[in-house]
Amino acid sequence: MENIKIATAQFENRSGDKAYNLQIIDQLAGEAALKGAQAIAFHECSITGYTFARNLSKEQMLDIAEFIPDGPSIQKLQKIATKHDIAILAGLFEKDANDKLYKAYVCVDKTGLIAKYRKLHPFINPHLTPGNEYVTFDLYGWKCGILICYDNNIIENVRATKLLGADIIFMPHVTMCTPSTRPGAGFVDPALWHNRAADPTSLRQEFDGLKGRAWLMKWLPARAYDNSVYAVFSNPIGMDDDQLKNGCSMILDPFGDIIAECRELDNDIAIATFTPEKLQQAGGYRYIQARRPGLYGTIIGKEHVSEQRVVWL
């Protein structure tokens, strides 16, 4: 493998406004390409918007969802990728011929669709069907995987994706700044966002504290470190429906170190160079080799009824 440059992005999407969101994706992809990035990753449901879907009926969900790869948004995404000669990863709601609905995330380049992943643990709308498989794919000689938001909170998903060969895991989210049972969690007042030009300090304090980035730092570096992967975390900033999100899209290396991060209180990109040497230098590589699955294979694989609870809902 050769070095690869990848960008992660944050932007304020508009609920249900695919044309606007694709326009911003076009703008940021062009900016990333000019800075040498070979791929750029956007957040969960970056094409459609996300949180507003909690109030949609199945008919409304089917109206906003698209077929993949033949839907207009994927076709537009491919045109953007061709225009800038960059691979683009972005998310949207998907429907199939049987009117099943999924939370999907795709990777496209000028050749077309490279990969499609369906979220394993969707929850924003009761009509969504969970995905049932991990996905790995090749990107410029690197083996990649995708896990959407809540999927990354189940640590077995990250390890399984790594064991399938992924050295880069794209982790698109719409997260943080919501109530929870954990100390310090909660919504952030939208007034702080609207007043950010006059008072960025108060907003940054909320964004970087336990409502936001400080919580992320409790677990995200461990996912990269334990599995010796590059983690590409993407998250929106600004208002997503009636919820304020804090961005801080970032890239972590296999040591669990942040090597690029969006810090603007606005739409932004961050770019990092991925070097293959780190994949075997990091401690996670050695720990994976030292595993003894005979001890715990049946324990981890023991039959279990999945119960998913999202407190803020």
pLDDT value, residue 40: 99
Residue 222, classified by CB atoms within 10 Å of its CB into exposed (0-12), middle (13-18) or buried (19+), is middle
- Average pLDDT estimate for 30-45: 98
Distances (CA, A) of 124 to 108, 130, 237: 25, 12, 18
pLDDT at 313 over 90: no
What residues have CB less than 8 Å from 185, skipping those under 6 apart? Answer: 178, 179, 210, 211, 215
CA distance 142 to 206: 36
CA distance 86 to 148: 21
- Containing H/E element for 279? helix 277-281
| Tens of pLDDT, residues 103-133 | 999 999 999 999 999 999 999 999 999 999 9
CA distance 67 to 75: 11
CA distance 12 to 282: 35
pLDDT value, residue 211: 98
Instruction: Kindly state the percentage of the chain with pLDDT values over 70.
Output: 100
DSSP category for residue 263 = -
- Measured in whole angstroms, the distance separating CA 277 from the mean position of its chain's CA atoms is 25
pLDDT value, residue 264: 98
What are the two backbone dihedrals, phi and then psi, of residue 230, each rounded to the nearest 5 degrees?
Answer: -80, 125
| Tens of pLDDT, residues 260-282 | 999 999 999 999 999 999 999 99
Q: pTM here?
A: 0.98
Average pLDDT of the chain is: 98
| Tens of pLDDT, residues 209-247 | 999 999 999 999 999 999 999 999 999 999 999 999 999
